[in-house]
A = this chain, B = another copy of it.
Amino acid sequence: MAHKTTYAYRVEPQYVDFTLRATVPALGGQILNTAGVDAHNKGFGVDVLNPRGMSWVLSRFAMEFDSLPAQYTPFDITTWVNECTALLTTRNFTLTDTCGHEFGRSVSQWCLIDIAARRPISLSTIDQFNDDYITAEPSPCDKPHKLTAIEGEELLRHAVAYNDIDFNCHVNTMRYIDLMFDTLPLDMFRGDYRVRLDIHFLRESRYGQTLVVYGCEQDGGHLFEIRTTDGTICCRAAISFVR
């Protein structure tokens, strides 16, 4: 049986918005980096998998924040894996301040893929990933919600460029979230609010393609779909602000 592991961070100046508080995309980036470092430390990181022709791909991701920490504030991210089915593993996170007060939480679901075929393969393929790495602690919030197709209007177009891509020349996960936040009016970010984001990744996009962000409002939330110009749906997301 594995244990939860905690990593220390600080809200660096490049992670804050015009209110001088961490952005949701920036905290999301730190959450995903924590996943990478924790997998590496426990022997099932991409450094071990890539030479075997495999990699982790984020399938679904949810984040909730009760508040957003100010610039230079130290905080901790605690992470644990609590589920592993044939094709999906669930990794959880809580974010706490230095007094131990939890201000955010996240649930992520990952596939193992064959890099050459870009297809999911069974998690049983990797011996390292067995019960020794599962922590029998419940997820700290709802798993990523179900998201269906939307009839949104076009909000933003972005040609995939140098700063957007990973080592496979695919768009970095967090850049999709950046683009959605870039369509929201600044007034959404003033004052105090709680926020939840759910996102499903459906298809990868790559250098040379142009992304189009479609969006609409429904039941007080903001729904998004990002497609390439040929109509392929890359991801769907919902962002809700509660005041």
Using a CB–CB cutoff of 8 Å, the interface residues on chain A facing chain B are: 12-14, 17-20, 23, 25, 29, 33, 36, 156, 159, 161-169, 174, 178, 181-184, 186, 189, 207
Contact = CB atoms under 8 A, between A and B. Distances in A.
- Give the number of copies in the complex: 2
A174 to B, nearest CB: 7
Contact of A33 (B14, B163, B167): B14
A165 to B, nearest CB: 5
Contact of A162 (B17, B163, B207): B17
A167 B12 contact: no
A29 B17 CA distance: 15
A58 to B, nearest CB: 13
A114 B184 CA distance: 31
Please give me the 3 A-B residue pairs with the lowest Cβ-Cβ distance, nearest first.
Answer: A161-B182, A18-B165, A13-B33
